[in-house]
């Protein structure tokens, strides 16, 4: 089984790319979804977040994700601190999911992780696909998806690497500013390249 990293900035369209690959037969592990599950179930990680970032838990003990986001997306050092604290938990849970997908016979598994390189998770992957889109496309997608203001969407983008970061590190780059059909064509070309090796 090949583990292929899938990464890119917020609003670039990683989810659509992932869906395209699933339709072609790939398995997928979404690091953000793993993290969200841990935010509901992993007491030791939540306690660590409260210790590091202050009152970021709700009265019922779950994570107030918007509150934490307002802290970390405004300060690159705090974002690095968050990644360092949460990644060991995310990695362990992701590796368990990889094993489950391997047992199901999936030939390729996409590891959808926005901070793949920043956390060193690219070491788990044979290849990496980067998904990029123009800044304005990303701003509009984030505003529509998350209900954020333009200012908040821009702050999120500005806290993340630019296109050149992904172009320099990823074997495959998918430019996602066009139609779903154009995206599908690019995804299929990458899938064929991965399966031919």
pLDDT digits (tens, 9 = 90+) for 180-192: 889 889 999 999 9
Distance CA 71, CA 67 (A): 7
Confidence of residue 96 (pLDDT cuts 50, 70, 90): very high
* DSSP for residue 126: S
Sign of the dihedral through C-alpha 173, 111, 29, 108:
positive
Q: Hey, which residues does 30 pair with through a beta bridge?
A: 112
For residue 37, the enclosing domain spans 2-195
Instruction: Please write down the long-range contacts of 160-163, taking CB distance under 8 Å and 24 or more positions apart.
Output: 160/9, 160/10, 160/114, 161/9, 161/117, 162/9, 163/132
pLDDT mean over 100-125: 92
Please, are residues 3 and 195 in contact by the beta-carbon 8 Å criterion?
Answer: no
Average pLDDT for residues 47-53, to the nearest whole number?
95
Q: Which of 140, 134, 144, 139 lies closest to 175, judged by CA?
A: 134
Q: What is the pTM of this model?
A: 0.85
**CATH of residue 110:** 3.40.50.300
Secondary structure class of 10 (helix, strand, coil): coil
Apex 83 CA angle, 79 and 87, nearest 5: 170
Please give the pLDDT value at position 35: 92
> Helices marked H in 42-162 — which ranges?
43-53, 65-72, 76-103, 135-146, 150-158
Q: Which residues contact 57 (CB under 8 A, 6 or more apart)?
A: 46, 49, 50, 63, 64
Q: How confident is the model at residue 197 (pLDDT cuts 50, 70, 90)?
A: low
> CA torsion, points 144, 15, 20, 95, in degrees to nearest 10?
-170
Give the angle 5-11-98 at the CA atoms, nearest 5°.
Answer: 25
Q: Is the pLDDT of residue 49 over 70?
A: yes
Domain count for the chain? 1
Q: Model confidence over 133-179: pLDDT tens digits?
A: 999 999 999 999 999 999 999 988 998 999 999 999 999 999 999 88
The answer, yes or no, to whether residue 100 has pLDDT greater than 80, is yes
């Amino acid at each position: 089984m090949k583990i292929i990293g899938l990464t890119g900035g917020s609003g670039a369209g990683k989810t659509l790319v992932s869906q395209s690959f699933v339709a072609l037969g790939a398995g997928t592990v979404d690091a953000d979804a793993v993290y969200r599950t841990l935010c509901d179930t992993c007491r030791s990680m939540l306690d660590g977040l409260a210790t590091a970032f202050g009152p970021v838990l709700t009265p019922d003990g779950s994570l107030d994700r918007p509150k934490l986001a307002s802290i970390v997306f405004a300060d690159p050092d705090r974002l690095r601190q968050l990644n360092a604290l949460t990644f060991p938990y995310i990695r362990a849970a992701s590796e368990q999911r990889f094993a489950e997908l391997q047992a199901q016979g999936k030939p390729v598994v996409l590891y959808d992780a926005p901070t793949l390189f920043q956390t060193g998770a690219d070491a788990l992957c044979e290849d990496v696909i980067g998904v990029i889109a123009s800044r304005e496309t990303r701003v509009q997608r984030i505003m529509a998806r998350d209900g954020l203001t333009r200012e908040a969407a821009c702050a999120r983008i500005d806290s993340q690497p630019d296109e050149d970061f992904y172009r320099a590190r990823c074997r495959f780059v998918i430019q996602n500013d066009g139609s779903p059909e154009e995206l599908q064509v690019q995804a299929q070309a990458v899938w064929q390249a991965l399966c031919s090796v």
